[in-house]
């Protein structure tokens, strides 16, 4: 419940930053990197954060830091090995020197994004463990 409240606070803070009128909004191109598996990540224009006062910017900063800490807690609560799995996958992602154009690598990236999105190796709604589509 607390994580949803924190997420709501952060969303409200960023929504408050966007004071541009509807007519000034431009269509954002669909980015393939924001769509994977059965998920789509939405992007928001937060450029008006520069218009905030120093106190408001400080609040947004502390809320974002709290969200990052809360996210690690969520990983740990969802499954006892989630943090180790996430760190291993991230280490592979950052240090891999092989061919990154293969289907296995693309499937690895999709799996890693799913782990990031779901805060672990279980589906964010169904709580069902999702399996990678890449080879060992």
Supply the pLDDT for residue 35.
79
Distance separating alpha carbons of residues 24 and 10, to the nearest angstrom: 24
Q: Where along the chain do its domains lie?
A: 2-118
Q: Are 125 and 37 in contact (CB under 8 A)?
A: no
Q: What pLDDT digit, counting tens, does each position of 5-54 carry?
A: 555 555 555 555 444 444 434 444 555 567 777 788 888 888 888 899 99
How many C-alpha atoms does 110 have within 13 Å on its Cβ side? 18
Report the Cα 93 to chain-centroid distance in Å: 16
pTM as predicted: 0.65
The length of the chain is 136
Task: Please give the average per-residue pLDDT across 67-81, as a whole number.
Answer: 90
């Amino acid at each position: 419940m607390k994580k949803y409240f924190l997420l709501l606070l952060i969303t409200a803070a960023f929504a408050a930053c966007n004071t541009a009128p509807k007519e000034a909004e431009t269509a954002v191109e669909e980015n393939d990197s924001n769509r994977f598996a059965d998920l789509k990540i939405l992007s928001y224009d937060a450029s008006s954060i520069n218009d905030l006062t120093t106190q408001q910017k400080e609040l947004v900063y502390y809320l974002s830091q709290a969200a990052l800490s809360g996210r690690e807690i969520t990983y740990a609560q969802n499954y006892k090995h989630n943090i180790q799995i996430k760190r291993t996958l991230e280490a592979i992602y950052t240090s891999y020197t092989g061919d990154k154009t293969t289907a296995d690598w693309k499937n690895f990236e999709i799996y890693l994004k799913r782990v990031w999105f779901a805060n672990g190796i279980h589906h964010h709604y169904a709580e069902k463990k999702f399996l990678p589509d890449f080879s060992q």
